[in-house]
Amino acid sequence: MSVLELKNSLLKLIVETDDPILLQQAIAFLSSIKGEKDWWDLITEEKKRKITQGFENAKHQQTLTHQQVKSEIHQILKK
């Protein structure tokens, strides 16, 4: 696929979505790989808070195993 075809495909995907979160994530991704902005500067304060909390939980070994997460998801999906 040529560069022009790739650009057209990407543009079509962008034009066809109305999901502001997806569009914001696409901007953050492309900006970060171009070196324009760090993705951290482009995410919401709530997301920053959740990521920081996740790091704190991991630091204090307050995490779940993969099997525990799978079990919880299985229980949720059964309802």
| 11-68 residue pLDDT tens | 999 999 999 988 888 888 888 788 767 778 778 899 999 999 999 999 999 999 999 9
Cβ-based burial of 67 (10 A; exposed 0-12, middle 13-18, buried ≥19)? exposed
Identify whether residues 24 and 55 lie together within a single domain: no
Quick one: pLDDT at residue 39? 75
Cβ-based burial of 42 (10 A; exposed 0-12, middle 13-18, buried ≥19)? middle
**What domain range is 56 assigned to?**
45-79
Identify whether residues 27 and 49 lie together within a single domain: no
pTM score of the predicted model: 0.47
Identify whether residues 68 and 54 lie together within a single domain: yes
Tally of structural domains, the chain: 2
Identify whether residues 50 and 33 lie together within a single domain: no
Identify whether residues 34 and 51 lie together within a single domain: no
Quick one: pLDDT at residue 53? 96
